[in-house]
Chains A and B, each alone.
Chain A
Amino acid sequence: MYKLLLCLRYLRTRYLAFICIVSVMLGVATLIVVNAVMSGFSTKLKDRLHGVLSDMVVDTDRTNGFEVVREARRPLTPEEAKQNPAVPGARRAYSLGTRVTPHAREDYYVDGDEHVTVRTLTPDGIIHEITTGPAGQYVEAITPTIDTFAVLQYRDRGAVVAKPVRLVGVEPIGRTNVGGFAEYLVRQKGAPNPSFELTPEALQRHEWNLMQHRHEHGADAPPPPKLPVADPLAPPAPDMKLDVGIERPKLTGAILGYGLAHVRYKDANGQLLEEQVLRPGDNVVLTTAGGDDLKPVWGTFLVTDYLKTEMSEYDSSFVYVPLDQLQRIRGMAGRATSFQLKLKNYDRDKEAVAKELRKVFPTREVMIRTWEDLQGPLLSAIDVERSILNILLFMIVGVAGFSILAIFTMIVSEKYRDIGIMKSLGASSWGVMQIFVGYGLLLGTVGAGLGTALGLWITHNINAIEAFISRQTGTAVFPRDIYYFKEIPTNVDPLTVILVTAGAVLIAVLFSLLPAWRAARLHPVRALRFE
């Protein structure tokens, strides 16, 4: 009883105790805020990185995309052997014809005494093989894509602007089912069936652009190119005449990264400004390489929407176009360079799926990677940075612990006589030790509790605090143009808060042990005589 009473009284009346509490409080608050911000950045980055990448990617570095060939051999039946007689002195070799199905092109021929079936799988065939195989049970959605490099060209105030981009051909609904697509679109945000269709406003702007072009270059001037490809199945020639002698094709939309269509810059006052340089309906030309000999090919698209992930790396590089259009431009009809997979339970199944897919695609040119593999170095860097920061910051609490040690030593020295009094009244050494350990526990608990409350409050109001500091100092504490984040992201992990709080209390108790032990060992007579 006396231990609790004295702990509480010491807490209320000791100025030094207040310093201890403040030390622990600041340490805990700092740890919680930094952890919340780091975790917020990490979580948001991971969400974004994961978002556009899908759970798992099966891709190839072959420019013409996947070529999955399945060969089946069986002995010729007597009837087949009779129909395809062997030429004396030569090996028997006959082509038996070709059949095209939705899943494959099947070539049949006779090779020696065997009947051979060669199935070259289409993307649908590959998808069918994945989904009907052992990996299929884990897969929720799958879609083919073409992922390649390109140069984006457009006119800005009469001048041609060119930017390197990452060109992705997608089936918009299939890509949406895989996740990380529709939720980042600006106009069609969250739409279940997004498309590359142009809105009436975009078409109107396109017509206005055409009129403007004719006005500037005369009525005879050719209009800007629409779609370039005459023969959709052949690689385009780089010098082909666009829009000449062919039926005017359907206008095709493209979804541009938000950062490509919007330029951010600072004015003379350092104020961050944003200007839209590509509006829905504006022309863009995408030039990439296609065909077996990789000649330059290009296509004209009209901006229809923007992709805004708030990740500058993506927003300033990704351009989405319809898969079939990109296949035509690159001359790779019916092919894809990658398959995006969404798993039913990513964390549980990723390794099993990778293992099963490796059986389906045993060759080295096919790469099977999770989104974490693709972003491995960045994710590792984030985790390493967070761990190191945590170690450094926990040293703050360690410093608070040493201040507790110093202050407790002073308090025990001040309390020598009280310790003697308590012992003369029958208090045991263990009881005296408990007073000071309990005091440490109480200081740690109060300090950690206040620190937790302060840390959570700062975390909750961090953007208001940042704005206030930025206003006062005239310097942006959090430059938004780097991350395209509207505000500082935070993520309070309850487990981290509990660990930090418990760790601080533990440190307070540990650092109070030595002074408490010294107090307990104090001889009552010497304590009573202490001046």
Chain B
Amino acid sequence: MLEAANLTKAYRRHAVQVPVLNGLDLEVRTGEFLSVVGASGSGKSTLLHLLGTLDEPDSGTVKLDGRRIDNLPARERDALRNRTFGYIFQFYHLLPELNVVDNVLMPAYIGHSTLNWWKGRGQWRKRAHELLDRVGLSHRLTHRPRELSGGEMQRTAIARALLMNPRVLLADEPTGNLDAASGGEIVKLLRDINRDEGVTIVMVTHNLEIVHATDRVVRMVNGVVTDDTPGAPKQLPFQPLMLAAV
């Protein structure tokens, strides 16, 4: 489904080129829950940005269903990020001025003109409420992000990422800023979404305890994939794993 071939990327820091990805190859299969692990600076987040068209590689290609997407015009890449990919960040990245519902609805606000939004606003609100109900936040609809706990903010971010029915969820250290219990809930939620809705998930993490919940684990070292192994089977009970993480 998602295919990265020979990706290279370097950042320039104080006139010094810092290579991050060095000819990385990776294939993400449809419907799988893939975790990417590695030490800090190994290029995990950069890979996620390139897969999700947030950034452009120096060389190499990124393909979605065989179609190259890394060199698309800005407008098409904006549309891909709005409708095909859903992002979940370590620091939640909710908009502080908006309440929970409006944060969840933001992709729909962005993806529609005022008129189109107005015509379909009822459906979109219903969808946002359903998603918030699913992530257990139906009692927090009008709350601002600053009034939520870390776990609640991340669940809001997940609901936002799911609003437009994306085909791929890109999660960048989704549990990195949470305690173990909250992190466990988030991973369980992602697992359920992957299983129930068939959404492909690529999760970057450095927490090896949670990768057992995923179908496949790839390890990155110095900007290349060094290990690619199957993770925990989907049918394994999740709770014992999280207890072990604690």
Contacts and interface: CB of A to CB of B under 8 A. Distances in A.
Interface of A: 1-2, 4-6, 9-10, 12-13, 417-418, 420-429, 431, 523-525, 528
A1 B74 CA distance: 20
B35 to A, nearest CB: 20
Interface string B96-117: 1110001000110111111001
A425 B83 CA distance: 9
21 contacts: A1-B109, A1-B110, A1-B112, A1-B114, A2-B109, A5-B102, A9-B97, A12-B97, A421-B95, A422-B95, A423-B81, A425-B81, A425-B82, A425-B87, A426-B78, A426-B79, A426-B82, A426-B83, A429-B74, A528-B89, A528-B93
B110 A5 contact: no
A425 B112 CA distance: 12
A524 B46 CA distance: 12
Contacts of B75: 428
B82 A6 contact: no
A524 B96 CA distance: 18
Contacts of B78: 423, 426-428
A415 to B, nearest CB: 9
A424 B87 contact: yes
Nearest to A14: B97
Interface in B198-229: none
A7 to B, nearest CB: 10
Please name the 4 residue pairs, one residue from A and one from B, whose CB atoms are nearest each other, closest first. A426-B82, A2-B109, A9-B97, A1-B117
B54 A427 contact: no
Contacts of B54: 423-424, 524-525, 528
B58 to A, nearest CB: 14
A418 B81 contact: no
B179 interface: no
Contacts of B111: 426
B110 A417 contact: no
Given A1-B114, A4-B114, A5-B102, A424 B97 contact: no
Given A417-B93, A428-B78, A525-B49, A422 B110 contact: yes
Given A425-B87, A528-B54, 4 more contacts: A422-B106, A424-B89, A425-B82, A426-B81
Contacts of A422: 95, 106, 110
Contacts of A4: 114
* Main secondary structure on B side of the interface with A: helix
Contact of A425 (B49, B74, B96, B106): B106
Contacts of B52: 424
A5 B87 CA distance: 21
A422 B98 CA distance: 13
Contacts of B109: 1-2, 5
A421 B97 contact: no
Nearest to B93: A421
Contact of B107 (A9, A417, A426, A429): A426
A424 B81 contact: yes
Interface string B110-142: 111110011000000000000000000000000
B93 A420 contact: yes
A428 B114 contact: no
Nearest to A429: B74
B55 interface: yes
A366 to B, nearest CB: 71
Contacts of A427: 78, 110
Contacts of A423: 54, 78, 81
A427 B89 CA distance: 17
Contacts of A425: 81-82, 87, 106-107, 110, 160
Range of interface residues on B (Cβ < 8 Å): 20 to 34
Contacts of B160: 425
Nearest to B108: A1
Interface string B64-98: 00000000001100111111000101000111111
Interface string B167-185: 0000000000000000000
Nearest to B172: A528
Contacts of B118: 1
Contacts of A6: 95, 97
B79 A1 contact: no
A524 B56 CA distance: 11
B83 to A, nearest CB: 7
A12 B49 CA distance: 33
A10 B111 CA distance: 20
Give the interface centre of A1, A6, A429 by most chain B CB atoms within 10 Å: A1
A421 B83 CA distance: 15
A443 to B, nearest CB: 15
A418 B78 CA distance: 16
Contacts of A429: 74
B64 to A, nearest CB: 15
A521 B134 CA distance: 36
A528 B173 CA distance: 14
Contacts of A9: 97-98
Contacts of A2: 106, 109-110
Contacts of B80: 426
A13 B102 CA distance: 15
A328 to B, nearest CB: 84
Contacts of A12: 97
A418 to B, nearest CB: 6
Nearest to A426: B82
A9 to B, nearest CB: 4
Contact of B55 (A13, A418, A426, A525): A525
Given A5-B102, A429-B74, A418 B95 contact: yes
Nearest to B87: A424
Given A5-B102, A421-B93, A428 B74 contact: yes
Contacts of B102: 5
A421 B97 CA distance: 13
A1 B55 contact: no
A421 B145 CA distance: 14
B51 to A, nearest CB: 13
Nearest to B90: A528
B132 to A, nearest CB: 17
B214 to A, nearest CB: 22
B209 to A, nearest CB: 26
B49 A10 contact: no
Contacts of A523: 55
A84 to B, nearest CB: 101
Contact of A426 (B93, B98, B110): B110
A372 B82 CA distance: 68
Nearest to B46: A525
B39 to A, nearest CB: 18
Nearest to A11: B97
A362 to B, nearest CB: 72
B71 to A, nearest CB: 17
Give the interface centre of A2, A4, A10, A420 by most chain B CB atoms within 10 Å: A2
Nearest to B79: A426
Nearest to B117: A1
